[in-house]
Amino acid sequence: MKRLEEKHALITGGTAGIGLETAKQFLLEGAQVAVTGRNEDSLKAVSEELGSAVQTIKSNAGNIADQTKLATQLSNTFPKLDVVYINAGDVTHKPLEDWDENNFDQVINTNLKGPFFLIQALLPMLSDSASIILCGSVSARIGLPQSSVYAASKAGLISLARTLSGELKDRGIRVNILSPGPTQTDALEKFGLAKEEENALREEIKNLVPLKRMGTTIELAKAAVFMASDESSYMLGAELLIDGGVGNL
């Protein structure tokens, strides 16, 4: 039997990078999968690549009203929800003096406020053995310059995994954190750097990692499969670091 057979899973931010690879791995393990994204073209591309096996839903993770709409839409197509992987995130990094209130609110809304209200909206759908996986970051454990607001939002999620686990454990619902380290995705391309600067930044990041390389999306997706499956049934309010040693060495 496949590890996620008969499970229904939601992945936010599932149109690229870690989210997309996780969707593929969940499908291989037998899950029925829904993914969200903000961009219609990206959602269309996922539908073309993965076919009707995946339900695509347009949703902005930082828009609170969208979280209620998402829950309603899912309830019309899924009988229950066994896995929630809150992967969507805003990775904005900038110096302290460059932040303004709008930028700050955008990161916090996407990375912390939105996830909180999505979980609230999904409560009636969650099965009594549901696994909620929150995407943290090793940045919450280190003092990386320019990561202030991003790292704070992820630290909030780590705390949320513990407090919500305490609140939901009597229903059998588990909330845990999957925290990536530097991972090879297109996230750096969104910084708007010249190619030479982007390549230099990649090398700088690699040098921060004790294993001297960036992680891969498949490494994170395989960890998500474990956390979504019954194999992690004794894991509660915990953080799984897949970070090449950044947070420990």
- Positions marked catalytic: 150
Neighbours of 172 (CB within 10 A): 13
Under DSSP, the state recorded for 145 is T
φ, ψ of residue 10 in degrees (nearest 5): -115, 130
The set of long-range contacts for 18-21, using a CB threshold of 8 Å and a minimum separation of 24, is 18/87, 18/135, 18/180, 18/183, 18/185, 18/217, 18/220, 18/221, 18/224, 19/85, 19/87, 19/88, 20/46, 20/217, 21/217, 21/218, 21/220, 21/221
Edge-to-edge strand list for the sheet holding 239-242:
54-58, 32-37, 8-12, 81-86, 126-135, 174-180, 239-242
Residue type, 54: V
Residue 156 DSSP symbol: H
